[in-house]
Amino acid sequence: MRQDDFAIDNCLKCSVCNAACPVFGVNAQYPGPKQLGPELERLRLEGISADTEWLEYCLGCHRCDMACPHGVGVSEMIAHAKAKHHKPLVRGLRDWWFARPGLLGKLTTILPAISNFALSMKLARFFMSKVMRITPLRTFPAYTKPNLRTPPARTSEDRARLLFFPGCFIRYNRPDLGRKVIELLERNGFATEVAATECCGVPAAANGDAAQAHAMARANVKSLVAGVDAGMRVVTACSSCGYMLKTGFGGLLKDDRELAPAVQKIAASTLDVGELLIAQSDAGMLNTDFQQANMRLAYHAPCHQKSQGIGRPWFHLLRQIPGITIEDLDAGCCGMSGTYGFKQEKYKISVAIGQELFDSINASQPQMVATECATCQMQIEHGTDFKAIHPVEIMLQAYNGKII
């Protein structure tokens, strides 16, 4: 890693990143991105040990990067240091599993009903909290058979072809949501193929497993590049997967001469489903054959959606459905950050970060919250009495005239 990769010399110690950091905002002991990033990085570059347990408390939300007026790669610096941080054995084992949702998904979906029963058993939750330090206060999402498939080709129609990167949550927990993505895209004139991909690597990077994140990036790039070379665009319905394909692979594989050109092509060809549909809308090509909905929604933008720099496509799409009123909550990070909120030692911080969002939802009193990140949905349903669903489901229901 070269010193200028993170633009460390651009840091003027202005502390704007600290003001944007959700963890810094709720925990006075957290050193903040300025210290964990550029300040300690200077020591690390000198070969001075600057390891600290606080590296583990970074959410990887990228808010510090977005806030920095000088383009310093703050969160990437922290992620690199986190990957070298020493963990006690049992916590290391827990994080090894958390870094591999694809492997976990493959194993649990051999017999999903038994896995779901085992994960909900009090004895198992007690063991997980005492030994693995996984909080018993969270509920695991149910696993289901990974039966998301490419629908049969409609040979009579000439449609633009897309490659769908489903990610682990859709593949192992919600393949029905994946089918809804495909149906929504079909209603807007696209033919969608399900890509044969692995986990995007965000959970591995978030859990400090750089080797696993790197392996996932390589496998996914090799799998996606043929489709992109054939002119297909890649679509994602998970904001973390989207961020990884657009930006994260570039960081992980920047020194990989073999794959670097493919990484760039994939990054340039990847779109969030909402981003694709808002472009259709701007071009006057969105299917607006919606039924009257009569619903009051609140919208929460996930951090990894914001860090893609694509605005709020789903907020603007859902507003086009007749009878829907929608409020952009603009209430910061939810605090869940994938597996972070499941970790016993981080649970209180996770919920404290989410409180601003919970208060905002309670003040808004919507019938439902729309947000495209599965773990944001989990956190919202954990911290409030409101249901949270993916905007894809709302839009598809509006075509079918059956809003929940």
Chain positions contacting ligand SF4, by CB under 6 A:
11-17, 20-23, 33-34, 37-38, 58-64, 67-68, 70, 72, 74-75, 78
Nearer to ligand SF4, 341 or 366 (CB): 341
In the numeric block, the tokens 């009051």 are attached to 296
Question: Which residues have CB under 8 Å from 36's CB, separation 6+?
Answer: 52, 54, 55, 58, 77, 78, 81
**Closest distance to ligand SF4 from the beta carbon of 264 (Å):** 24
Phi, psi of 271 (to 5 degrees): -135, 140
Nearer to ligand SF4, 36 or 199 (CB): 36
**Closest distance to ligand SF4 from the beta carbon of 316 (Å):** 26
- What radius of gyration, in Å, describes the C-alpha atoms of the chain? 21
Rounded distance, CA 236 to CA 243, Å? 9
- Shortest CA distance to 341 belongs to which of 353, 325, 329, 324? 353
**Closest distance to ligand SF4 from the beta carbon of 301 (Å):** 15
Contact 337, 378 (CB under 8 A): no
143: amino acid identity, one letter: Y
Nearer to ligand SF4, 62 or 382 (CB): 62
Rounded distance, CA 387 to CA 366, Å? 9
**Closest distance to ligand SF4 from the beta carbon of 308 (Å):** 15
- Shortest CA distance to 334 belongs to which of 373, 390, 389? 373
Rounded distance, CA 328 to CA 307, Å? 17
Tokens of 181: 């993505």
Beta bridge partners of 162: 192, 233
**Closest distance to ligand SF4 from the beta carbon of 31 (Å):** 9
Nearer to ligand SF4, 73 or 227 (CB): 73
**Closest distance to ligand SF4 from the beta carbon of 180 (Å):** 30
Nearer to ligand SF4, 109 or 350 (CB): 350
Nearer to ligand SF4, 61 or 99 (CB): 61
Where are any strands of DSSP class E within 195-267? 233-236
Nearer to ligand SF4, 14 or 211 (CB): 14
**Closest distance to ligand SF4 from the beta carbon of 71 (Å):** 8
